[in-house]
Amino acid sequence: MSLPPTVEKELDRSFAEPDRAAARQLLPQEHAFGDGYERILLAIIGLSNGSLSTLAHYSQSARDDWRDVLSWHENPREPDEPTSYSELREQLGLPPDPEHADQ
């Protein structure tokens, strides 16, 4: 698979030599995205933090809906941002919500 030079450079920067070939194979094919392919690949690689399993996860996420991957990459979460409704209530100093106890 032929990748844009910027993507190759980012793969070289993010993955050690033995993992680069595997990383290339995990990336989605261009026909799935058309315009914006390079931007999507750079987002996937950036989100992977050099982990093949994380790269596989975000590659599949991009196949499902590439807009999610771009959003996650371009709008990173704040460190103190809650990840659930329960965590938000806790940060706001509210008691647990019995209707959403499982979340």
Which tokens in the block code for residue 78? 């704040």
Q: What is the pLDDT of residue 39?
A: 95
Q: What is the pLDDT of residue 84?
A: 81
| Interacting residues of 103 by C-beta distance below 8 A, sequence separation 6+ | 84, 85, 86
- pLDDT tens per residue, the chain (103 residues)? 688 999 999 999 999 999 999 999 999 988 778 789 999 999 999 999 999 999 999 999 999 999 999 999 998 888 888 878 888 888 899 888 877 665 4
- Domain limits of the chain? 5-77
Contact in structure between 20 and 12 (CB atoms under 8 Å): yes
